[in-house]
């Protein structure tokens, strides 16, 4: 696994030793960031200087890629001790401790943001384990608990045969399939 662009482009990330953690492939990550950089969603979203929340963060590849490409801060959220250990390894290797925090929390029940969270967030990544129906409750938590800025960009990743649930608070902007992966781009209303 490598960072595909920005100031850390080409740097290697620590990867899981087994299939318990499924990182976003370099190909999909690069495609997502090409869309973010070159697609006018009509929301005014800019990656440069954005605050990012990476739910179900795993290795942190999505959030680290965002910081590499100009985001100013990322909050990584994952319940798994193995994931948080990989996150720490990757954050420390890239000297991002001042630009990030790692939280142990259930991404489907975030609760109200604390002052130290670093939000509200202009960009959110959700990449839960496939086929576990975790996207809907995580989206509800992000929106209803007040974690997202106005016109935030929300990027979800799921299995290609899964559907991203409709939400009254989010508008779907785009959707793409890459092999067995479906990526959906949404914004807050």
Domain ranges in the chain?
Answer: 26-188
Rounded to whole angstroms, the Cα distance separating 101 from 118 reads 9
Assigned superfamily of 26-188: Vaccinia Virus protein VP39 (3.40.50.150)
- Kindly report, residue by residue over 89-137, the tens digit of the pLDDT: 999 999 999 999 999 999 999 999 998 999 999 999 999 998 999 999 9
Q: Report the pLDDT value the prediction gives residue 25, as an integer from 0 to 100.
A: 78
> Within 10 Å of residue 37's Cβ, how many Cβ atoms?
13
Average pLDDT over residues 36-40: 88
| Cα distance between the two ends of the chain | 34
pLDDT at residue 23 is higher than 80: no
Q: Which residue has the higher pLDDT, 3 or 168?
A: 3
Q: How high does pLDDT run on average in the chain?
A: 91
pLDDT of residue 44: 85
List b or e across 149-182, with b for residues whose CB sees 16 or more CB atoms inside 10 angstroms: beebbbbbbbeeebebeebeebeebeeeebeebb
User: Is the entire prediction scored with pTM above 0.85?
Assistant: yes
What pLDDT is stored for residue 24 in this prediction?
Answer: 77
- Say what percent of the chain tops pLDDT 70: 96
């Amino acid at each position: 696994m490598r960072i595909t662009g920005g100031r850390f482009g080409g740097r290697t990330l620590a990867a899981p030793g087994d299939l318990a953690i499924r990182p976003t492939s370099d190909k999909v990550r690069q495609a997502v960031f090409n869309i973010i950089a070159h697609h006018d969603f009509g929301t005014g979203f800019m990656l440069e200087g954005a605050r990012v929340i990476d739910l179900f963060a795993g290795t942190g590849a999505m959030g680290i890629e965002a910081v590499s490409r100009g985001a100013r801060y990322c909050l990584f959220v994952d319940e798994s001790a193995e994931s948080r250990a990989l996150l720490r390894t990757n954050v420390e290797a890239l000297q991002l401790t001042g630009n990030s925090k790692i939280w142990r929390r259930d991404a489907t029940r975030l609760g109200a943001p604390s002052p130290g969270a670093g939000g509200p967030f202009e960009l959110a990544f959700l990449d839960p384990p496939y086929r576990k129906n975790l996207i809907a409750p995580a989206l509800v938590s992000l929106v209803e608990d007040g974690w997202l800025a106005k016109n935030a960009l929300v990027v979800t990743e799921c299995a290609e045969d899964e559907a991203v649930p409709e939400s009254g608070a989010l508008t779907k902007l785009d959707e793409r399939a890459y092999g067995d992966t479906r990526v959906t781009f949404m914004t807050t209303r």
